[in-house]
Amino acid sequence: MTSRPGWAPGALAAIAALTALAAGASIAACRADRVDPASTVDEAPVSATSAPTATPDPWAGLGAPARIAIPAVDIDAPLERLGLTPDQAIDVPNAWGNAGWYDAGFRPGEPGNAIISGHFDDDRGAAAVFYRLRELAPGDPVYVDYPGGERYAFRVEDSRLLDADAVDAAVWEDVFGPSAVPGLSLITCDGVWDKRAGSYDKRLVLHAGYDPAASTPAAIP
């Protein structure tokens, strides 16, 4: 594979509006030309769009989420911070066994739909961190942990299989847009491998709603 496949330009217009990304942002594919490094998390540089604004962020003290656990499919993985690639795609995790949180979006646990993505398989076709994501069912729990011991619990509500080149802004607004309550969007590849494009032709997006009873949240002013 010689290129980084991903969403067609314009597919994440909703995210662009929310996070001040340039028009035409996209999500990079979940299989890329990478070699799995050591098990330690190699954080991606924070994108320019996540720079502080004039309004203090009460959630900033949480830092970056550290791990994601999905017991129903035996996922317990470190979280990398994901920024943007030079072509304005949301990057993918460096390690096949890690998931990644898009750091210019919402934090898991704050009002809004946070984005966590992971590889479906590696460059040899072996299962990667989100290979079994398609097996999740409504009600299955998802946990996101922070370095300070805070845990935010979610439960799967629904899933969608979308074309990799989908450009319907209304769909993306629904998946990634603002919300009065915390939400979590989990993303990986699915469908059929397209040799010419160097990517799968579908993206699996699962939405999980906040479960306050199973959470140990931070005290946010």
Q: For residue range 31-68, what is the model confidence (pLDDT) as tens digits?
A: 544 444 333 334 334 444 444 455 667 777 789 999 99
Q: CATH assignment of 13-30+75-212?
A: 2.40.260.10
Give the percent of the chain with pLDDT over 70.
70
- Whole-model pTM: value is 0.77
Q: Which residues contact 188 (CB under 8 A, 6 or more apart)?
A: 30, 117, 118, 119, 120, 130, 131, 133, 203, 204
| Residue spans per domain, the chain | 13-30+75-212
- Each residue's pLDDT tens digit, 63-92: 999 999 999 999 999 999 998 888 777 788
Going by C-alpha positions, the residue among 207, 189, 82, 97 that lies closest to residue 142 is: 207
What's the distance, CA 153 to chain centroid?
A: 16
What's the distance, CA 110 to chain centroid?
A: 15
